[in-house]
Structure 1
């Protein structure tokens, strides 16, 4: 590590950042140069973990359900705008991490009134939004059907929940057996996301008429009022869980630190049980404001843009288009519409009479992969947020875990597994997903402004351009509207009806 020369004040309540030179991408990824091969093999990665969550509850459940019931026009533009705004937002979340080596969870503690308020509040909002576990319960429904060769009946819902709990245990085992947790998640998502996109493209080309493809694409770019009958909760959930989790996307961006992007390389990472202990810095590190480091920052920023726009955005759009056009064709073939109860297995059941048992099992397998990749990212992300937050707020906690985050990470993961296993018994899976998605929109009322505060105080080379602030305000307006409408709908009458 470059010798620390001085400190850099940023915000309130937390110590000044140390100052050291940015590493080169070649130093971090241990290659001679970053070409196309090195880009794919080493630099791309955090976006795949985010994409594993992205191609999930919104894309496999909420989007197809909305399109299956109401068609593409009036729904598709919500998907496109949500994906665009969320990708911009993700870049701003990652900007802070690359420039300081601190995760956003820890960075919120630098925003007035300080760490004792914002760090616990941020962690609570994320936990509250996702602990409902609809993403886990939906995966359990798909796995039950895959194992038993049929959709679960009303009296068998408890069995689907046991399958969901079993998949949570699988996530724990992946994290426990890894040397470096982020890398294990990357490799898992390379396999799952790659298989999902390739299989869906092939199946859609075989099954879906070009007229339906065109309707899906046209729906993305046609401005139109939402279709009559769609509820504020449905549309808000679709907006919130298109791409990822709207205002709460920051909870997954810490993988840029663990990957070693920018100053994240100086800060450390969370190792698996098989990995060697490595202390995470309790206070971040930023870079001096000179020409050499400004040039290195531009290189890191270009890598971030490739990872986010070339992988995450493109994958998120494909991840929404492919399942929704398939759902539209499934509705046309079956003459029925998906419901909250049957949407996780609707496509498989609808295609079975026309294309046979093999297609039924293939679609169930895709559903399980889609929802398990979501489960993997969300469950691990919840644990990661609190693992970063607790030591940042409490020096005593840092001493208690002897500066090894694994001493907190794995016990908390077991605690969270037990809690989610209980909560998924409370409602139908898709109803739980709709709740989580709308709670994600709550984050858009808060965190874009906190990012403006933090990012505007970074070293000059890392600060956003003025139009980036405009886009953060648009995140606030777009997703915030849906959250306010959801709250009004929940307690009485929505502000806007369609």
Structure 2
């Protein structure tokens, strides 16, 4: 194109950008500068810690929980580090790469994953209900909530519960769900309230565990733990692929289902999330969330801003989430290994939430018992906080984006659906908690998380390959997603085989 004087003129920027099928096209707008989003003049290291880091902390609060406090210590306490530790490391690496790819889509479009999946053929009427079904089947059983109740019971009673007191444990778990409800109700911005809560919870947990573990665990055990994380070895004799699958699935976060907590990058304002909105608490101003995302034009200015946002995303996920997940797994497992060696006893499914506290209390006194129980309660409550809220958030986001009728009914304010639905989910979880022991429920949830790795990496490949050019992944990113499929998918196939036949597909 040329103007009347003969000078070249750039064609007008497109006002819409279509990705996939069945969902409306994305609006087009410029990426904001990070300084605009976080309201700072300059974004240095201090400002990054204060304002940018956050979504990874919510994910980390969930991560340092069912896997790191229950399944990891149980596996190491029973079978040792060798042949188990490498599963932890590979899982954490693959999941962090996966998180980057999920968050890439959120940051480039402002659409959360549950909504974005609706753009993948055959479309939203299949993918959105299916994604919600897989998510809820993995987490609705409430093992994470029952585990927190088990630790709180022991902290109150001064001893672990016996088999006749499981109902009290469950009631305490339900009470902690009500605490989560109160936290979200009182928040101005729900994501920010979760971030601040996890700064306190995760920080306190890692600090106390670090002090206790350094004080009582010999250096040789530390070395065994670190070496186990990086030494490839055959799984130990006697461990089942289902146990390893649970460990792999809930190390770091939830393998193929990690997308369920990446919504917070939209609410934090990362990239185009800033143009879409966030879910506020009842005390907030009531920000409206756009039902369809927004992306950016392919030009040099936006490509430069994308690189800045992508670096911030990598800092958040690799610098906080990955490092925190590895430290969060190392400390409890090293401590458990020492406790098993000194006590001569091994944890079981029924006592693993309180095993470490009980054994250390017997050796060092009631104060140590109380300290370690408090740590366990904080760990499992941070998991409870993140999962419970995410179950409600994903259903709310999916319903709000999919139903014009619902948007009219709630007048575009997701809070009017979010809080009543949270009470419904609370009641369902309260009933589901009665189905099995807490750790057994967590084991099932972890293996169901691996189902997501058979499906969602390919949905991400489809979506991310259609983003504006500056935001598209490189070839090796797709290969990492295939590795997620192979690694976690193997464990899910084994889980189903064992569930159906009663025998393991692979024996060690």
Q: Same fold (TM over 0.5)?
A: yes
Q: Secondary structure at the match of 2:411?
A: coil
Aligned residue among 232, 246, 254 for 2:263: 254
The alpha carbon displacement at 1:401 in A equals 1.6
Instruction: Give yes or no for contact 1:438–1:486 (8 Å, CA) kept in 2.
Output: yes
1:343-382 pair list within 5 angstroms: 343-382=352-391
1:99-248 pair list within 5 angstroms: 99-248=108-257
In 2, the alpha carbon distance for the partners of 1:4 and 1:13 equals: 23
Query: Paired residue for 1:17?
Result: 26
Instruction: Give yes or no for contact 1:232–1:489 (8 Å, CA) kept in 2.
Output: no
Q: Over residues 370-410 of structure 1, what are the superposed CA-to-partner deviations in whole Å (9 max), with x where a residue is unaligned?
A: 00000000000000010011122222122122111011101
Instruction: Give yes or no for contact 1:282–1:391 (8 Å, CA) kept in 2.
Output: yes
Aligned residue among 289, 293, 296 for 1:284: 293
Query: Paired residue for 1:83?
Result: 92
In 2, the alpha carbon distance for the partners of 1:426 and 1:454 equals: 38
The alpha carbon displacement at 1:91 in A equals 0.3
User: Mind listing any 5+ residue stretches in structure 2 that lack a counterpart?
Assistant: 1-11
- With 397-406 and 433-442 compared, the bigger mean Cα shift is at 397-406
1:326 aligns with 2:321: no
Query: Paired residue for 2:48?
Result: 39
In 1, the alpha carbon distance for the partners of 2:133 and 2:187 equals: 27
Q: Over residues 281-309 of structure 1, what are the superposed CA-to-partner deviations in whole Å (9 max), with x where a residue is unaligned?
A: 01100000000000000000000000000
Query: Paired residue for 1:494?
Result: 504
User: Mind listing any 5+ residue stretches in structure 1 that lack a counterpart?
Assistant: none
CA change 1:83–1:420 in 2 (3 A) is same
In 2, the alpha carbon distance for the partners of 1:14 and 1:341 equals: 46
Instruction: Give yes or no for contact 1:10–1:457 (8 Å, CA) kept in 2.
Output: yes
Q: Over residues 409-454 of structure 1, what are the superposed CA-to-partner deviations in whole Å (9 max), with x where a residue is unaligned?
A: 0111000000000110110000000000000000000000000000
In 2, the alpha carbon distance for the partners of 1:403 and 1:497 equals: 53
The alpha carbon displacement at 1:494 in A equals 2.1
1:93 aligns with 2:98: no
In 2, the alpha carbon distance for the partners of 1:468 and 1:352 equals: 47
Question: What is the TM-score when the length of structure 1 is the normalising length?
Answer: 0.99
The alpha carbon displacement at 1:497 in A equals 0.9
Q: Secondary structure at the match of 1:403?
A: coil
Extract structure 1 runs of 4+ deviating beyond 3 A.
Answer: none
Instruction: Give yes or no for contact 2:291–2:402 (8 Å, CA) kept in 1.
Output: no
1:463-478 pair list within 5 angstroms: 463-478=472-487
Q: Secondary structure at the match of 1:270?
A: coil
Q: Over residues 174-221 of structure 1, what are the superposed CA-to-partner deviations in whole Å (9 max), with x where a residue is unaligned?
A: 001100000000000000000011111110001111111011011111
Aligned residue among 405, 408, 413 for 1:404: 413
Query: Paired residue for 1:264?
Result: 273
In 1, the alpha carbon distance for the partners of 2:101 and 2:290 equals: 22
Query: Paired residue for 1:426?
Result: 435
Aligned positions, number: 496
Question: What is the TM-score when the length of structure 2 is the normalising length?
Answer: 0.97
